[in-house]
Structure 1
Amino acid sequence: MKSVMRNHSTVTMFIIMGLTNDPHLEILVFTFLFITYTFSVIGNLTIISLILVDSHLKTAMYFFLQNFSFLEISLTTACVPTYLYIISSGNKTISIKACFSQVFFIILFGATEFFLLAVMSYDRYVAICKPLHYMSIMNSRVCRNLILSCWISGLLIILPAFCLSLNLEFCDSTNDHIACDASPILKNSCSDTWFIEQLAIFCAVLTLIMTLVCVVSSYIYIIKTVLRLPSSQQRKKAFSTCSSHMIVVSISYGSCIFMYINPSAKEEVSVNKAVSLLTVSVAPLLNPFIYTLRNKQVKQAFHDNLKRLAFLSKEY
Structure 2
Amino acid sequence: MRDMDNQTRIFEFILLGLSEQPLQQQVFFGLSLSLYLIGCMGNLLSILAILLDPHLHSPMYFFLSNLSLLDICFASTIIPKMLVNHLCGHSTISSKACLTQMYFFITFEAADSILLSTMAYDRYLAICCPLRYITIMSVLRCALLVAVPWISANLISMVHTILMTRLSFCTNRIPHFFCDLNALIKLSCSNTQVNEMLVLVFGGSVVLIPFVCIMASYTPIAMAVWKVPSAQGKWKAFSTCSSHLCVVALFYGTIIGVYFNPASTHTTQKDIATTVMYTMVSPMLNPFIYSLRNRDLKEALWKLLKGNHLAKPL
Please state which band the TM-score falls in when normalised by the shorter chain: over 0.9
Following superposition of structure 1 onto structure 2, how do residues 13-28 of structure 1 map, counting pairs within 5 Å?
13-28=12-27
CA distance in 2 between counterparts of 1:266 and 1:300 reads: 45
TM-score when normalising by structure 2: 0.93
Following superposition of structure 1 onto structure 2, how do residues 120-135 of structure 1 map, counting pairs within 5 Å?
120-135=119-134
CA distance in 1 between counterparts of 2:170 and 2:71 reads: 34
CA distance in 1 between counterparts of 2:249 and 2:149 reads: 19
Aligned position for 1:118? 117
Give percent identity, aligned residues only: 39
Aligned position for 1:205? 204
Aligned position for 1:101? 100
- 1:40 has 2:39 as partner: yes
Pair 267,213 (structure 1): closer, same or farther in 2 beyond 3 Å: closer
Partners of 1:178 and 1:277 within 8 A in 2: no
Q: Secondary structure at the match of 1:131?
A: coil
Once the two structures are superposed, residues 192-247 of structure 1 have per-residue CA deviations (whole angstroms, 9 ceiling, x without a partner) of: 11111111111101111210111000000100111111222111100000000000
Aligned position for 1:268? 267
CA distance in 1 between counterparts of 2:263 and 2:208 reads: 24
Q: Which amino acid aligns with 2:89?
A: G
Partners of 1:40 and 1:286 within 8 A in 2: yes
For residue 263 of structure 1, report the CA deviation from its aligned partner. Answer: 8.2
Aligned position for 2:50? 51
Q: Which amino acid aligns with 2:20?
A: N
Q: Which amino acid aligns with 1:253?
A: Y
For residue 157 of structure 1, report the CA deviation from its aligned partner. Answer: 2.6
Q: Secondary structure at the match of 1:168?
A: coil
Pair 199,261 (structure 1): closer, same or farther in 2 beyond 3 Å: closer
Partners of 2:300 and 2:309 within 8 A in 1: no
CA distance in 2 between counterparts of 1:264 and 1:215 reads: 27
CA distance in 1 between counterparts of 2:21 and 2:132 reads: 58
CA distance in 2 between counterparts of 1:254 and 1:247 reads: 10
For residue 261 of structure 1, report the CA deviation from its aligned partner. Answer: 5.6
Runs of 5+ consecutive residues of structure 2 not aligned to the other structure: none
Aligned position for 2:178? 179
Once the two structures are superposed, residues 263-315 of structure 1 have per-residue CA deviations (whole angstroms, 9 ceiling, x without a partner) of: 8747521111111112111111100100000000011112223333599xxxx
Partners of 2:53 and 2:309 within 8 A in 1: no
Q: Which amino acid aligns with 2:224?
A: T
66-75 or 158-167, which moves further after superposition? 158-167
CA distance in 1 between counterparts of 2:201 and 2:266 reads: 24
TM-score when normalising by structure 1: 0.93
Following superposition of structure 1 onto structure 2, how do residues 243-262 of structure 1 map, counting pairs within 5 Å?
243-260=242-259
For residue 183 of structure 1, report the CA deviation from its aligned partner. Answer: 1.5
Runs of 5+ consecutive residues of structure 1 not aligned to the other structure: 312-316
Q: Which amino acid aligns with 2:165?
A: L
Aligned position for 1:137? 136
- 1:10 has 2:26 as partner: no
Q: Secondary structure at the match of 1:132?
A: coil
- 1:165 has 2:188 as partner: no
Aligned position for 1:314? none
CA distance in 2 between counterparts of 1:161 and 1:305 reads: 41
Pair 204,169 (structure 1): closer, same or farther in 2 beyond 3 Å: same
